[in-house]
Amino acid sequence: MYSIPMTFDRRTFLGATLAALATGAGARNLPFFERHGLPIGIQFYTLGPDAAKDFDATLGALAGIGYRAVELQGLLGRSGAMLRSSLNAAGLSCTSIHVSQAQLDDDLAKLADEFAAVGIRTAITPRPYFPERIGTGPTNGENSIEWFRRALSQMTADDWKRNAEVLNEKGAALAKWGIKIGYHNHNGELVPLAGSTGLELLIRHTDGRFVTFELDVGWMAAAGRDPAAFLARHKGRIGLLHIKDIAAGSRPNFALTMEPTEVGSGTLEWTRVLPAAYAAGVRGFYVEQEPPFRRPRLEAAKISHDYLAKLIA
């Protein structure tokens, strides 16, 4: 037991206690990102293919909106040092990046050096390795979306388990440089499969020391699943979140389709999802919006940012 020192009078003690309680209550009333001291980030894919052509101007515009972190979509043809210089000039950080399988299958030491120059600690792959019977790209007049949809639909439980092995191998290799590998989902990984799903098989069969996950809550909702419940079930395995909303009227599916909209304009309950994500261990939050856009992309990015910056959750 502890006793109050005789020199600490009762009035002072009560005043300090009330002030502490008020401070705690005040903190709970702060917006989610301010309360947790987390930056609102954005996945560069949101800005479209032309954004990289004027990279510095795009970064400046994002910083002007209020974003403080960027998740890159590859190295964009630049060296790590060049990227870091541009990010520093805009006052932005980048600790996560999406990578291609070609990069992961190439010289990992060289890739890790580039990542270190930027400050990247997590490398995310947004697609699985497909077996030979599925192929590596579109055929018979398919576009890339049609092929990806078909390829995901043909994955078996054993295919996903083999992907878990590959993620473990790549993750263990990258761990030498302090980098974790991660996997980003779509809705095609949520097809019921052998009493589970492709995404859950990946989570179950990967080593959390080396492999993390970036949950795209928009794609999860597009599949008719509850992101908050999924986060609670997989606490400690999901380190990053794509903050993506879907419009009312979207029909649940596994076919890589959704009705996108700005964050806060759709159907996701962010006052449930964001606290669930934080409780599950997520510390990297990135806005991402799929095309088609109803307005200029930077305008859409501002709507999403401004909604999140004020959200009390």
CATH number of the domain that 278 lies in? 3.20.20.150
Q: Is 26 within a domain?
A: no
- Could you tell me if 218 and 260 are in contact, meaning their C-beta atoms sit under 8 angstroms apart? yes
Please report the pLDDT score of residue 12 as a whole number. Answer: 46
Q: Is 174 within a domain?
A: yes
CA distances to 112, 299, 306 from 95, in Å: 12, 24, 22
Q: Dig out the tokens for 29 from the structure.
A: 């009333």
Q: Is 290 within a domain?
A: yes
Comparing C-alpha atoms, which of 284, 71, 305 is closest to residue 59? Answer: 71
Q: Is 51 within a domain?
A: yes
Mention every residue, 6+ apart, whose C-beta is less than 8 A from residue 190: 197, 198, 199, 219, 220, 223, 225, 254
In the block, residue with structure tokens 């990946």: 202
State which residues form the domain around 286.
35-310
- Could you tell me if 115 and 74 are in contact, meaning their C-beta atoms sit under 8 angstroms apart? no
Q: Is 169 within a domain?
A: yes
Question: What is the chain's alpha carbon radius of gyration, rounded to the nearest angstrom?
Answer: 22
Comparing C-alpha atoms, which of 211, 215, 213, 125 is closest to residue 175? Answer: 211
Q: How remote is the C-alpha of 40 from its chain's centroid? A: 11
Please report the pLDDT score of residue 182 as a whole number. Answer: 98
Please report the pLDDT score of residue 2 as a whole number. Answer: 36
- Could you tell me if 273 and 308 are in contact, meaning their C-beta atoms sit under 8 angstroms apart? no
Q: Is 119 within a domain?
A: yes
Please report the pLDDT score of residue 56 as a whole number. Answer: 98
> Can you tell me whether residue 70 is helix, strand or coil?
strand
- Could you tell me if 252 and 223 are in contact, meaning their C-beta atoms sit under 8 angstroms apart? yes
Comparing C-alpha atoms, which of 43, 170, 70, 167 is closest to residue 112? Answer: 170
Q: Is 276 within a domain?
A: yes
Domain count, the chain: 1
Beta-bridged to residue 98, according to DSSP, are 73, 124
Count other Cβ atoms within 10 Å, centred on residue 188.
24
Q: What DSSP state is assigned to residue 254?
A: S
The pTM (predicted TM-score) of the whole model is 0.91
Comparing C-alpha atoms, which of 161, 152, 170, 167 is closest to residue 219? Answer: 152
CA distance 50 to 283: 29
Q: Which residues of the chain have pLDDT under 50?
A: 1-8, 11-12, 17-23
- Could you tell me if 147 and 138 are in contact, meaning their C-beta atoms sit under 8 angstroms apart? yes
Q: Is 14 within a domain?
A: no
CA distance 214 to 128: 14
How long is the chain?
Answer: 313
Q: What single letter denotes the amino acid at residue 56?
A: D
